[in-house]
Structure 1
Amino acid sequence: MYKHTSTMVLALVLVSSFTLAAQPIEEVQTTTPVAVQALTEEPGSTAEGLLYMREEEKLARDVYIALYEKWGLRTFLNIAESEQQHMDAVGALLAARNIEDPVAGSDFGEFKNTDLAALYSSLVSQGMQSASEAYRVGAIIEDLDIYDLKEYLSKTTDEAEIWVYTNLLKGSENHMRTFTKQLERYGVTYTARYISDAELQAILSGR
Protein backbone atom coordinates (compact mmCIF):
# COMPACT_ATOMS: atom_id res chain seq x y z
CA MET A 1 0.00 0.00 0.00
CA TYR A 2 2.81 2.37 0.90
CA LYS A 3 5.47 0.94 -1.45
CA HIS A 4 5.72 3.68 -4.07
CA THR A 5 5.17 6.74 -1.89
CA SER A 6 7.36 5.28 0.86
CA THR A 7 10.25 4.95 -1.57
CA MET A 8 9.99 8.63 -2.44
CA VAL A 9 9.75 9.66 1.20
CA LEU A 10 12.78 7.50 2.05
CA ALA A 11 14.78 9.34 -0.59
CA LEU A 12 13.86 12.59 1.15
CA VAL A 13 14.85 11.05 4.49
CA LEU A 14 18.29 10.08 3.22
CA VAL A 15 18.97 13.46 1.67
CA SER A 16 17.73 15.49 4.62
CA SER A 17 19.50 13.36 7.24
CA PHE A 18 22.66 15.36 6.58
CA THR A 19 20.90 18.55 7.77
CA LEU A 20 19.10 17.04 10.73
CA ALA A 21 20.64 19.49 13.15
CA ALA A 22 18.51 22.23 11.60
CA GLN A 23 15.30 20.35 12.41
CA PRO A 24 13.23 21.02 15.54
CA ILE A 25 13.85 17.54 16.97
CA GLU A 26 16.46 17.58 19.73
CA GLU A 27 18.47 14.51 18.82
CA VAL A 28 21.97 13.46 19.72
CA GLN A 29 23.24 12.37 16.31
CA THR A 30 26.51 10.63 17.07
CA THR A 31 25.70 7.11 15.86
CA THR A 32 27.20 7.56 12.40
CA PRO A 33 28.24 4.52 10.35
CA VAL A 34 31.75 5.89 9.81
CA ALA A 35 32.37 5.79 13.54
CA VAL A 36 31.71 2.07 13.82
CA GLN A 37 32.92 0.65 10.50
CA ALA A 38 36.38 -0.19 11.79
CA LEU A 39 35.21 -1.89 14.98
CA THR A 40 35.55 -5.65 15.25
CA GLU A 41 33.68 -8.08 17.42
CA GLU A 42 34.93 -8.38 20.99
CA PRO A 43 34.27 -10.91 23.75
CA GLY A 44 30.93 -10.25 25.43
CA SER A 45 29.18 -9.07 22.25
CA THR A 46 25.65 -10.18 21.42
CA ALA A 47 24.91 -10.56 17.72
CA GLU A 48 21.31 -11.35 18.61
CA GLY A 49 20.84 -7.84 19.97
CA LEU A 50 22.30 -6.19 16.88
CA LEU A 51 20.10 -8.24 14.57
CA TYR A 52 16.97 -7.44 16.54
CA MET A 53 17.70 -3.74 16.97
CA ARG A 54 18.48 -3.39 13.25
CA GLU A 55 14.93 -4.51 12.48
CA GLU A 56 13.35 -2.67 15.40
CA GLU A 57 14.86 0.61 14.22
CA LYS A 58 13.53 -0.23 10.75
CA LEU A 59 10.10 -0.77 12.24
CA ALA A 60 10.22 2.70 13.78
CA ARG A 61 11.34 4.28 10.50
CA ASP A 62 8.74 2.45 8.42
CA VAL A 63 5.85 3.23 10.76
CA TYR A 64 6.78 6.90 11.00
CA ILE A 65 6.98 7.26 7.23
CA ALA A 66 3.59 5.57 6.84
CA LEU A 67 2.10 7.96 9.41
CA TYR A 68 3.74 10.96 7.75
CA GLU A 69 2.17 9.94 4.45
CA LYS A 70 -1.23 9.70 6.13
CA TRP A 71 -1.22 12.86 8.25
CA GLY A 72 1.50 15.06 6.75
CA LEU A 73 2.85 15.84 10.23
CA ARG A 74 6.47 16.92 9.94
CA THR A 75 7.34 15.41 13.33
CA PHE A 76 7.12 11.92 11.84
CA LEU A 77 9.40 12.72 8.94
CA ASN A 78 11.92 14.40 11.23
CA ILE A 79 12.07 11.40 13.54
CA ALA A 80 12.13 8.96 10.60
CA GLU A 81 15.37 10.70 9.60
CA SER A 82 16.80 9.90 13.02
CA GLU A 83 15.63 6.29 12.81
CA GLN A 84 17.39 5.93 9.45
CA GLN A 85 20.62 7.04 11.09
CA HIS A 86 20.02 4.60 13.94
CA MET A 87 19.50 1.81 11.40
CA ASP A 88 22.70 2.82 9.63
CA ALA A 89 24.72 2.72 12.86
CA VAL A 90 23.60 -0.82 13.71
CA GLY A 91 23.92 -1.90 10.08
CA ALA A 92 27.51 -0.66 9.88
CA LEU A 93 28.42 -2.64 12.98
CA LEU A 94 26.85 -5.76 11.47
CA ALA A 95 28.81 -5.21 8.26
CA ALA A 96 32.08 -4.65 10.11
CA ARG A 97 31.60 -8.01 11.84
CA ASN A 98 30.44 -9.87 8.72
CA ILE A 99 27.02 -10.61 10.23
CA GLU A 100 24.24 -11.09 7.69
CA ASP A 101 21.96 -8.06 7.57
CA PRO A 102 18.30 -9.02 8.24
CA VAL A 103 17.14 -5.84 6.50
CA ALA A 104 18.95 -6.45 3.21
CA GLY A 105 16.50 -6.55 0.31
CA SER A 106 13.43 -5.92 2.47
CA ASP A 107 10.70 -3.48 1.48
CA PHE A 108 8.73 -1.16 3.72
CA GLY A 109 6.81 -3.14 6.33
CA GLU A 110 8.75 -6.34 5.64
CA PHE A 111 10.58 -8.03 8.50
CA LYS A 112 12.26 -11.36 9.07
CA ASN A 113 11.20 -11.24 12.71
CA THR A 114 7.55 -12.30 12.71
CA ASP A 115 6.77 -10.48 15.96
CA LEU A 116 7.99 -7.19 14.52
CA ALA A 117 6.06 -7.84 11.30
CA ALA A 118 2.84 -8.27 13.29
CA LEU A 119 3.63 -5.24 15.45
CA TYR A 120 4.19 -3.11 12.36
CA SER A 121 0.75 -3.95 10.98
CA SER A 122 -0.93 -3.33 14.33
CA LEU A 123 0.76 0.01 14.95
CA VAL A 124 0.16 1.36 11.45
CA SER A 125 -3.51 0.39 11.74
CA GLN A 126 -3.78 2.19 15.08
CA GLY A 127 -1.95 5.25 13.82
CA MET A 128 -4.33 5.60 10.87
CA GLN A 129 -7.29 6.22 13.19
CA SER A 130 -6.43 9.83 14.08
CA ALA A 131 -3.51 12.21 14.47
CA SER A 132 -3.56 11.77 18.24
CA GLU A 133 -3.43 7.99 17.86
CA ALA A 134 -0.52 8.42 15.46
CA TYR A 135 1.39 10.31 18.15
CA ARG A 136 0.44 7.63 20.68
CA VAL A 137 1.89 5.02 18.34
CA GLY A 138 5.10 7.04 18.25
CA ALA A 139 5.28 7.00 22.03
CA ILE A 140 4.60 3.24 22.10
CA ILE A 141 7.46 2.58 19.67
CA GLU A 142 9.92 4.69 21.65
CA ASP A 143 8.72 3.05 24.86
CA LEU A 144 9.53 -0.38 23.41
CA ASP A 145 12.81 0.86 21.94
CA ILE A 146 13.96 2.21 25.30
CA TYR A 147 13.02 -1.03 27.04
CA ASP A 148 14.84 -3.23 24.52
CA LEU A 149 17.93 -1.04 24.37
CA LYS A 150 18.26 -1.16 28.14
CA GLU A 151 17.86 -4.93 28.03
CA TYR A 152 20.61 -5.35 25.45
CA LEU A 153 22.85 -2.90 27.27
CA SER A 154 22.53 -5.07 30.37
CA LYS A 155 23.58 -8.18 28.40
CA THR A 156 26.67 -6.94 26.56
CA THR A 157 30.15 -5.95 27.62
CA ASP A 158 31.22 -5.13 24.07
CA GLU A 159 32.38 -1.50 23.97
CA ALA A 160 31.16 -0.85 20.42
CA GLU A 161 27.70 -2.19 21.16
CA ILE A 162 27.51 -0.22 24.40
CA TRP A 163 28.43 2.95 22.52
CA VAL A 164 25.85 2.38 19.78
CA TYR A 165 23.06 1.33 22.14
CA THR A 166 23.73 4.24 24.47
CA ASN A 167 23.45 6.74 21.65
CA LEU A 168 20.32 5.08 20.30
CA LEU A 169 18.86 5.22 23.80
CA LYS A 170 19.50 8.97 24.00
CA GLY A 171 17.72 9.39 20.68
CA SER A 172 14.73 7.31 21.77
CA GLU A 173 14.39 9.32 24.97
CA ASN A 174 14.38 12.53 22.94
CA HIS A 175 11.75 11.08 20.63
CA MET A 176 9.63 10.03 23.61
CA ARG A 177 9.68 13.60 24.91
CA THR A 178 8.65 14.87 21.49
CA PHE A 179 5.72 12.47 21.10
CA THR A 180 4.39 12.96 24.62
CA LYS A 181 4.55 16.72 24.15
CA GLN A 182 2.50 16.41 20.96
CA LEU A 183 -0.01 14.17 22.77
CA GLU A 184 -0.47 16.82 25.44
CA ARG A 185 -1.84 19.16 22.77
CA TYR A 186 -4.71 16.69 22.37
CA GLY A 187 -5.21 16.41 26.12
CA VAL A 188 -3.71 12.91 26.14
CA THR A 189 -1.29 11.67 28.80
CA TYR A 190 0.82 8.73 27.70
CA THR A 191 0.97 5.71 30.01
CA ALA A 192 4.10 3.57 29.77
CA ARG A 193 3.61 0.04 28.44
CA TYR A 194 7.11 -1.42 28.56
CA ILE A 195 9.29 0.72 30.79
CA SER A 196 8.16 1.65 34.29
CA ASP A 197 6.24 4.82 35.05
CA ALA A 198 9.21 6.00 37.12
CA GLU A 199 11.50 5.56 34.11
CA LEU A 200 9.06 7.44 31.91
CA GLN A 201 8.79 10.33 34.33
CA ALA A 202 12.56 10.53 34.62
CA ILE A 203 12.84 10.72 30.82
CA LEU A 204 10.15 13.39 30.53
CA SER A 205 11.83 15.48 33.21
CA GLY A 206 15.16 15.16 31.42
CA ARG A 207 16.86 13.21 34.18
Structure 2
Amino acid sequence: MKNSIQNLFAVSVLAGAMMMNLGAAQASDVVSTDTSLEATVADMPIEALSVEEEHGLIFMREEEKLARDVYLTLYDIWGLSIFENIAKSEQSHTDAIKLLIEKYQLADPVVDDSIGVFTDYHFVETYEALVAKGSESLEGALQVGNMIEELDIKDIAESVAVVEGNDDIVAVYSELMKGSRNHLRSFWDVLTKKGFTYEPQFISQEEFDAIINSPMETTNLK
Protein backbone atom coordinates (compact mmCIF):
# COMPACT_ATOMS: atom_id res chain seq x y z
CA MET A 1 0.00 0.00 0.00
CA LYS A 2 2.81 2.41 0.85
CA ASN A 3 4.35 2.00 -2.58
CA SER A 4 1.02 2.63 -4.27
CA ILE A 5 0.51 5.82 -2.26
CA GLN A 6 3.99 7.05 -3.05
CA ASN A 7 3.38 6.26 -6.70
CA LEU A 8 0.20 8.34 -6.62
CA PHE A 9 2.10 11.34 -5.33
CA ALA A 10 4.91 10.68 -7.78
CA VAL A 11 2.41 10.82 -10.63
CA SER A 12 1.23 14.21 -9.38
CA VAL A 13 4.79 15.51 -9.17
CA LEU A 14 5.58 14.07 -12.60
CA ALA A 15 2.51 15.73 -14.07
CA GLY A 16 3.71 19.01 -12.65
CA ALA A 17 7.15 18.43 -14.10
CA MET A 18 5.67 17.68 -17.52
CA MET A 19 3.79 20.95 -17.40
CA MET A 20 7.06 22.71 -16.68
CA ASN A 21 8.18 21.99 -20.21
CA LEU A 22 5.16 23.66 -21.80
CA GLY A 23 6.13 27.31 -21.37
CA ALA A 24 7.00 30.18 -19.08
CA ALA A 25 5.12 30.89 -15.87
CA GLN A 26 2.59 33.68 -15.62
CA ALA A 27 1.74 35.48 -12.38
CA SER A 28 -1.85 34.91 -11.24
CA ASP A 29 -3.84 33.26 -8.48
CA VAL A 30 -4.34 29.53 -8.21
CA VAL A 31 -6.71 28.25 -10.91
CA SER A 32 -9.69 26.35 -9.51
CA THR A 33 -11.79 23.56 -10.99
CA ASP A 34 -15.34 22.53 -10.11
CA THR A 35 -14.15 19.40 -8.29
CA SER A 36 -14.59 19.68 -4.52
CA LEU A 37 -11.58 18.58 -2.50
CA GLU A 38 -13.88 18.35 0.50
CA ALA A 39 -16.02 15.77 -1.31
CA THR A 40 -12.95 13.86 -2.42
CA VAL A 41 -11.62 13.66 1.13
CA ALA A 42 -15.02 12.62 2.51
CA ASP A 43 -15.39 9.84 -0.07
CA MET A 44 -12.07 8.20 0.78
CA PRO A 45 -11.90 5.62 3.59
CA ILE A 46 -10.49 6.37 7.01
CA GLU A 47 -7.20 4.54 7.51
CA ALA A 48 -5.00 4.17 10.58
CA LEU A 49 -2.68 7.13 11.14
CA SER A 50 0.96 6.69 12.07
CA VAL A 51 2.56 9.07 14.54
CA GLU A 52 4.54 10.60 11.67
CA GLU A 53 1.39 11.16 9.60
CA GLU A 54 -0.37 12.78 12.55
CA HIS A 55 2.57 15.06 13.28
CA GLY A 56 2.75 16.01 9.60
CA LEU A 57 -0.89 17.13 9.54
CA ILE A 58 -0.55 19.15 12.73
CA PHE A 59 2.63 20.79 11.42
CA MET A 60 1.22 21.61 7.99
CA ARG A 61 -1.98 23.08 9.49
CA GLU A 62 0.06 25.75 11.26
CA GLU A 63 2.59 26.19 8.47
CA GLU A 64 -0.17 27.08 6.00
CA LYS A 65 -1.60 29.49 8.60
CA LEU A 66 1.89 30.97 8.94
CA ALA A 67 1.95 31.76 5.23
CA ARG A 68 -1.49 33.37 5.43
CA ASP A 69 -0.57 35.46 8.46
CA VAL A 70 2.71 36.72 7.02
CA TYR A 71 1.09 37.68 3.72
CA LEU A 72 -1.78 39.51 5.42
CA THR A 73 0.71 41.43 7.53
CA LEU A 74 2.88 42.32 4.54
CA TYR A 75 -0.20 43.41 2.61
CA ASP A 76 -1.03 45.84 5.43
CA ILE A 77 2.52 47.22 5.18
CA TRP A 78 2.97 47.42 1.42
CA GLY A 79 -0.54 47.33 -0.03
CA LEU A 80 0.60 45.02 -2.84
CA SER A 81 -2.28 42.91 -4.12
CA ILE A 82 -0.23 39.71 -4.52
CA PHE A 83 0.01 39.41 -0.73
CA GLU A 84 -3.74 39.75 -0.25
CA ASN A 85 -4.58 37.38 -3.12
CA ILE A 86 -2.21 34.62 -2.04
CA ALA A 87 -3.24 35.03 1.61
CA LYS A 88 -6.76 34.05 0.50
CA SER A 89 -5.35 30.97 -1.19
CA GLU A 90 -3.33 30.08 1.93
CA GLN A 91 -6.58 30.20 3.87
CA SER A 92 -7.93 27.48 1.58
CA HIS A 93 -4.72 25.49 2.17
CA THR A 94 -4.97 25.54 5.94
CA ASP A 95 -8.70 24.76 5.66
CA ALA A 96 -7.86 21.73 3.50
CA ILE A 97 -5.59 20.38 6.24
CA LYS A 98 -8.35 21.08 8.77
CA LEU A 99 -10.62 18.74 6.78
CA LEU A 100 -8.22 15.91 7.52
CA ILE A 101 -7.75 16.92 11.15
CA GLU A 102 -11.51 16.79 11.66
CA LYS A 103 -11.90 13.56 9.69
CA TYR A 104 -9.29 11.81 11.84
CA GLN A 105 -10.49 13.51 15.03
CA LEU A 106 -7.15 15.10 15.84
CA ALA A 107 -6.68 18.06 18.16
CA ASP A 108 -6.59 21.16 15.97
CA PRO A 109 -3.48 23.23 16.80
CA VAL A 110 -5.23 26.39 15.57
CA VAL A 111 -7.14 27.18 18.76
CA ASP A 112 -6.80 30.93 18.11
CA ASP A 113 -6.95 32.01 14.48
CA SER A 114 -5.56 35.48 15.18
CA ILE A 115 -2.65 36.65 13.05
CA GLY A 116 0.71 35.69 14.55
CA VAL A 117 -0.76 33.30 17.14
CA PHE A 118 0.42 29.66 17.02
CA THR A 119 0.40 26.66 19.31
CA ASP A 120 3.93 25.68 18.23
CA TYR A 121 6.28 28.46 19.32
CA HIS A 122 8.54 27.64 16.39
CA PHE A 123 5.95 29.29 14.16
CA VAL A 124 5.76 32.36 16.40
CA GLU A 125 9.50 32.88 15.99
CA THR A 126 9.35 32.20 12.26
CA TYR A 127 6.43 34.59 11.79
CA GLU A 128 8.29 37.37 13.62
CA ALA A 129 11.51 36.80 11.65
CA LEU A 130 9.74 36.77 8.28
CA VAL A 131 7.69 39.87 9.05
CA ALA A 132 10.83 41.67 10.24
CA LYS A 133 12.58 40.90 6.96
CA GLY A 134 9.53 41.75 4.90
CA SER A 135 9.07 45.05 6.70
CA GLU A 136 12.49 46.37 5.74
CA SER A 137 11.82 46.84 2.03
CA LEU A 138 9.49 45.77 -0.76
CA GLU A 139 12.30 43.65 -2.15
CA GLY A 140 12.60 41.91 1.21
CA ALA A 141 8.84 41.36 1.36
CA LEU A 142 8.76 39.69 -2.06
CA GLN A 143 11.80 37.62 -1.14
CA VAL A 144 9.88 36.44 1.93
CA GLY A 145 7.08 35.31 -0.37
CA ASN A 146 9.53 33.21 -2.35
CA MET A 147 11.06 31.82 0.85
CA ILE A 148 7.70 30.77 2.30
CA GLU A 149 6.62 28.98 -0.86
CA GLU A 150 9.97 27.21 -1.17
CA LEU A 151 9.68 26.08 2.45
CA ASP A 152 6.13 24.84 1.83
CA ILE A 153 7.30 22.83 -1.19
CA LYS A 154 10.09 21.26 0.84
CA ASP A 155 7.92 20.47 3.87
CA ILE A 156 5.00 19.09 1.85
CA ALA A 157 7.38 16.71 0.09
CA GLU A 158 8.77 15.57 3.45
CA SER A 159 5.29 15.14 4.91
CA VAL A 160 3.98 13.03 2.05
CA ALA A 161 7.09 10.85 2.19
CA VAL A 162 5.89 9.32 5.49
CA VAL A 163 2.31 8.63 4.36
CA GLU A 164 1.77 4.86 4.27
CA GLY A 165 -1.86 4.17 3.46
CA ASN A 166 -4.01 7.25 3.28
CA ASP A 167 -5.14 8.33 -0.17
CA ASP A 168 -7.00 11.31 1.29
CA ILE A 169 -3.84 12.75 2.85
CA VAL A 170 -1.92 12.28 -0.38
CA ALA A 171 -4.72 13.97 -2.32
CA VAL A 172 -4.63 17.04 -0.09
CA TYR A 173 -0.83 17.26 -0.08
CA SER A 174 -0.81 16.99 -3.87
CA GLU A 175 -3.16 19.98 -4.14
CA LEU A 176 -1.09 21.96 -1.64
CA MET A 177 2.04 21.23 -3.64
CA LYS A 178 0.50 22.50 -6.87
CA GLY A 179 -0.75 25.59 -5.08
CA SER A 180 2.66 26.32 -3.57
CA ARG A 181 4.33 26.00 -6.96
CA ASN A 182 1.79 28.44 -8.38
CA HIS A 183 2.46 30.90 -5.57
CA LEU A 184 6.21 30.65 -6.11
CA ARG A 185 5.73 31.41 -9.81
CA SER A 186 3.62 34.45 -8.95
CA PHE A 187 6.03 35.89 -6.41
CA TRP A 188 8.98 35.32 -8.73
CA ASP A 189 7.19 37.05 -11.57
CA VAL A 190 6.39 40.16 -9.52
CA LEU A 191 9.84 40.24 -7.93
CA THR A 192 11.74 40.06 -11.20
CA LYS A 193 9.47 42.57 -12.96
CA LYS A 194 10.40 45.05 -10.24
CA GLY A 195 14.11 44.40 -10.91
CA PHE A 196 14.79 42.49 -7.68
CA THR A 197 16.81 39.30 -7.28
CA TYR A 198 16.44 36.10 -5.27
CA GLU A 199 18.34 32.84 -4.76
CA PRO A 200 16.54 29.69 -3.54
CA GLN A 201 16.97 28.89 0.15
CA PHE A 202 15.24 25.55 0.73
CA ILE A 203 15.07 23.70 -2.60
CA SER A 204 17.71 23.14 -5.24
CA GLN A 205 18.39 25.69 -7.94
CA GLU A 206 17.41 23.05 -10.50
CA GLU A 207 14.00 22.46 -8.93
CA PHE A 208 13.46 26.19 -8.45
CA ASP A 209 14.26 26.93 -12.10
CA ALA A 210 11.98 24.12 -13.30
CA ILE A 211 9.07 25.57 -11.34
CA ILE A 212 9.43 29.23 -12.27
CA ASN A 213 9.92 28.41 -15.96
CA SER A 214 6.64 26.49 -16.18
CA PRO A 215 2.97 27.45 -16.53
CA MET A 216 0.45 27.72 -13.72
CA GLU A 217 -1.21 24.46 -12.66
CA THR A 218 -4.91 23.75 -12.15
CA THR A 219 -5.87 22.75 -8.62
CA ASN A 220 -9.02 21.75 -6.74
CA LEU A 221 -8.38 24.37 -4.05
CA LYS A 222 -10.42 27.55 -4.29
Summarize the alignment of residues 29-178 of structure 1 with structure 2, pairs less than 5 Å apart.
Answer: 32-37=37-42, 39=44, 41-43=46-48, 46-157=53-164, 158-178=166-186
In the aligned structure 2, how far is the partner of 1:31 from the partner of 1:61? 21
Which position in structure 2 is the counterpart of 1:179? 187
Question: Following superposition, which runs of at least 4 residues in structure 1 exceed 6 angstroms of deviation?
Answer: none
In the aligned structure 1, how far is the partner of 2:37 from the partner of 2:68? 16
Q: TM-score, normalised by structure 2?
A: 0.77
Q: Out of 199, 207, 213, which is 1:199 matched to?
A: 207
Alpha-carbon offset, residue 186 of structure 1: 2.8
In the aligned structure 1, how far is the partner of 2:103 from the partner of 2:171? 15
In the aligned structure 2, how far is the partner of 1:31 from the partner of 1:171? 15
* Cα 1:194–1:101 shift into 2, 3 Å: same
Q: How many residues align?
A: 185
Which moved further from structure 2: 69-78 or 180-189? 180-189
Which position in structure 1 is the counterpart of 2:29? 25
Q: Tell me which amino acid in the other structure corresponds to 2:70.
A: V
Provide the identity percentage.
Answer: 39
Which segments of 5 or more consecutive residues in structure 2 lack a partner in the other structure?
1-26, 216-222
SS in 1 for 2:114: coil
| RMSD over aligned Cα atoms | 2.0
Deviations 1:113-167 (A, max 9, x none): 1211101000011111111211110000001000000111111132111100010
SS in 2 for 1:194: coil
Which position in structure 2 is the counterpart of 1:10? none
Q: Is the 8 A contact 1:68 1:77 kept in 2?
A: yes
Which moved further from structure 2: 72-81 or 152-161? 152-161
Alpha-carbon offset, residue 28 of structure 1: 4.7
* Cα 1:53–1:163 shift into 2, 3 Å: same
Alpha-carbon offset, residue 185 of structure 1: 2.0
In the aligned structure 2, how far is the partner of 1:32 from the partner of 1:117? 29
* Cα 1:112–1:166 shift into 2, 3 Å: same
In the aligned structure 2, how far is the partner of 1:189 from the partner of 1:31? 37
In the aligned structure 2, how far is the partner of 1:206 from the partner of 1:92? 30
In the aligned structure 1, how far is the partner of 2:178 from the partner of 2:148? 14
Q: Tell me which amino acid in the other structure corresponds to 2:185.
A: R
Q: TM-score, normalised by structure 1?
A: 0.82
Deviations 1:39-72 (A, max 9, x none): 5541465111100000000000000000111111
Structure with bigger RCO (C-alpha 8 Å, 6+ apart): 2
